[in-house]
């Protein structure tokens, strides 16, 4: 994907929207194009986004886990999971997993 492609521009806008919705992103590998991990915690859910390549199919994923006050063996239950390229994963998260404050 080129630096001026419409897909990259859309992914950047969706990333900004995810930040506006409460996601905190950090780079998890060195370099300007290293993978990003985003986390958002709401009263009901813990949402995680992994962005490893903008234009590659199935290079990105998002996981939504329901919060629980009990200790759950094996971790919190996954209620939703999305695979795809960055624009499609980010679009799903910001539209279908939106959280109103």
List residues bridging with 54 in a β-sheet: none
* Euclidean distance between CA atoms 20 and 14, whole angstroms: 10
List residues bridging with 86 in a β-sheet: none
Residue 40's SS3 state is strand
Number of other CB atoms surrounding residue 85 within 10 Å:
20
Mean pLDDT of the chain: 86
CA distances from 70 to 39, 48, 66, 80, 81 (A): 21, 20, 11, 20, 22
The stretch 18-40 carries a mean pLDDT of: 92
35-65 pLDDT tens trace: 999 999 998 899 999 999 766 788 899 999 9
């Amino acid at each position: 994907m080129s630096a001026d492609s419409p897909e990259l521009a859309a992914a950047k806008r969706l990333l900004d929207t995810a930040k506006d919705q409460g996601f905190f992103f950090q780079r998890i590998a060195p370099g300007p194009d290293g993978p990003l991990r985003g986390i958002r915690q709401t009263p009901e859910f813990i949402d995680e986004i992994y962005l490893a390549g903008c234009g590659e199919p199935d290079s990105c994923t998002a996981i939504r886990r329901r919060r629980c006050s009990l200790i759950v063996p094996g971790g919190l239950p996954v209620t939703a999971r999305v695979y795809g390229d960055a624009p499609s994963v980010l679009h799903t998260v910001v539209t279908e997993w939106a959280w109103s404050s």
